[in-house]
Structure 1
Amino acid sequence: MNLAEVETFLTIVNTKSITRTADLLFLSQPTVSHRLTSLENELGFPLVIRQKGHKQVELTAKGTDFIILAERWMSLWKETMELQRNQDSLLLTIGCTDSLNVAVFAPLYDRILNEQTKLDLNIESHHSSELYGLLGEHSIDIGFVYHKLHYKNIITEKIFEEKLYLIQSDQPVIPAPAIHTDELDPSLELFLSWDDNYQIWHDRWLSSASRPHIAADTITLLDRLWKKPGNWMIAPQSVILELSHYRPLFISELKNTPPNRVCYKIKHKYPKSTSKRAVEFFENALEDFLAESTPSFPIGQVWERQK
């Protein structure tokens, strides 16, 4: 088998069309058909059912079974190319939610890149629900999510949890150390759904009465949109520490306490051979990083953190 034949077959699987495959690969239709026939001859069995007058390609039973092997072949080829290109350096692809990348791991990334010149990082931000699929496809090497799902060949491990607080500006509407959500004006809320458990809690105590004033999916955007002195937000400790670099905050506990946000590390049971060393190095650095003490902040008063 060669790369061109396997790539052509997998493209046919996705498009279900010889014509569409030819267009995508910038080939003639006879060339696509020749590659497919050549691959079948090497394998010794047909991959597609050939029927005159049918525009959509249908796979044989063995053709369907061969998809998994073809995908593995492509994966191994990509890893081989990676070894050839980066003999002296390691590449690690990390998938996280936006708030984790910005508020928790940015200092860790900075430390690793300063201390380890032979490790390159490819950092991606995705929703937790997307990261399991990306890891299953080996599109990322390690991921961090906020809910535990049971996926075949994916190992999930809890690494930390953090409490959520109410934050207001340095001119708080309710300057109290503990506040109930019934006392808050929903029309001034800045909202980000931190995880599924928080969403359920928020739906019960706040969304049933009114929708948030502004809802977004990144903490950077919420910070940019925080314009009114009366705006308020419920956020986990790591996000509060991050926001405190840019604005003074009044921090309160919530009387109707939201659930803690739990962070899980996810890894593939069968990692790519080219990423094993990089994953091990990152995990060791992560363990040291999480063992360090987390800065605390005052409750019930304005806090202006030193930049």
Structure 2
Amino acid sequence: MNLAEIETFLMIVETKNITKTAETLFVSQPTVSHRLKLLEEELGVSLLIRKKGYKQVELTTYGEEFVPIAERWLYLWQETQSLKEKQEKYYLTVGCTDTLNSAMMYDLYREMLDEADRMTNLRIKTHYSSEIYHYLEKHEIDIGFVHHYLHYKNILAEPLLSEEMYIIQSEQPEIEKEEIHTDELNKEREIYLSWETDYQIWHNQWITKGERPRMQVDTFELLFHLLSGKGMWAIAPSTVVERIQKLKQIHVSKIANEIRPPRRVTYKVTHKHMSEATLKAVQMLDKRMELYLKKKGWKTDK
């Protein structure tokens, strides 16, 4: 059976008349009869009762039973055609640290959400860097962005972004200078985020000197809200600085220490063994990310 035969049969069911069916489909009456005959021969049953002297036709018992089958056949054919016309859709689960989601990735997510074609479905999960490696290895996420390079047998880690660190103070800064040495600042007023291992070592050598930071946080939101009191300060990478500057007034200074803190490196992590669909989705995000970083003017590590 084919589309023409099914459409012809369903039109006969609707009009109950061969002539009207031919007129509606813009074909001849013999064509309608021929299509119906081929359909009946393939099914091996009679679908219509044709009475001499009557314009209307009636369905046989088989014909009545075949109506819902023909309707489902036509629906599936239409779905198949629709599938051909649709653009390929991407489904991607992304794992990021809190500050990456809130600062670096935020505008990219907004751009993708506002796209008219809606080709991409994103599921965004927030975890610590070590957790992202774990979930990626178990295929619970498709791609991750982290601050730590860890060795996993099946995980590929690629440097993506390198950022300079800055001192940021509340809108009521203790010191208003373009460059500040950390010794000039009150360490009791610092809001400390542990950006990555090398930074922790630098911070211990130059600021806490073996002591525990008085206020340590692990989310962008806490940093943002706590950086409101007079004299409060923190050290943050450029993406975080730019994001906070969009939301409120802060004072930003370069770090004048003899040894400056190491640049924060963001790594893109993927599994060595991805399905074809996941690989296409990851490649799509790679292209978007490359354009996004270039537009932002952020220094990549490529």
Measured against the shorter chain, the TM-score band is 0.5 to 0.7
Structure 2 runs not aligned, ≥5 long: 1-86
8 Å CA contact retained: 1:178, 1:255? yes
Measure the CA separation in 1 of the matches of 2:298 and 2:91. 31
Q: Deviations over 1:165-207 (max 9, x none)?
A: 0011222111111111111111101111111111111111122
1:74 equivalent in structure 2: none
Cα deviation, residue 293, structure 1: 4.0
Give the partner amino acid of 2:234: M
Hey, what does 1:121 align to over in structure 2? 122
Instruction: Name the CA distance, whole Å, in 2 between partners of 1:265 and 1:180.
Output: 32
Q: Which runs of 4+ in 1 moved over 4 A?
A: none
Matches within 5 A, 1:91-240: 91-115=91-115, 116-208=117-209, 210-240=211-241
Distance (whole Å) between structure 1 residues aligned to residue 93 and residue 154 of structure 2: 18
Correspondence for 1:286 among 282, 285, 289? 289
Residue 227 of structure 1: CA displacement?
Answer: 3.6
Contact 1:136/1:154 (8 A) holds in 2? yes
Deviation at 1:210, TM superposition (A): 4.5
How far 1:212 moved relative to its partner? 3.0
Q: Any idea what the Cα deviations from partners look like across 1:82-120, whole Å, max 9, x if unmatched?
A: xxxxx9743100011111111011111111222241311
Q: Secondary structure at the match of 2:261?
A: coil
Question: Partner of 1:268 in structure 2?
Answer: 271
Q: CA deviation at 1:209?
A: 6.0
* Aligned mates of 2:218, 2:198 — CA distance in 1: 16
SS state at 1:94 partner: strand
Residues 165 and 238 in structure 2, CA contact (< 8 A), matched pair in contact too: yes
Aligned counterparts, 1:22-41, within 5 A:
none
Once residues 203 and 241 of structure 1 are traced to their aligned partners in structure 2, the CA distance between those partners, rounded to angstroms, is 25
Shift of 1:267: 0.8
What is the root-mean-square deviation in Å for CA atoms of aligned residues? 1.9
Partner of 1:251: 252
Q: Does structure 1 retain, via aligned residues, the 8 Å contact 2:171–2:228?
A: no
Distance 2:220 2:198 in 1: 19
TM-score, L = length of structure 1:
0.65
Structure 2 SS opposite 1:211: coil
Verify the 8 A CA contact 1:179 1:252 in the aligned structure 2.
yes
Unaligned ranges ≥5, structure 1:
1-86, 297-307
Q: Aligned in 2, Cα 1:126/1:295: closer, same or farther, shift over 3 Å?
A: closer
229 and 209 in structure 1: CA distance in 2 versus 1, 3 angstrom threshold: farther
Q: Which has the larger radius of gyration?
A: 2
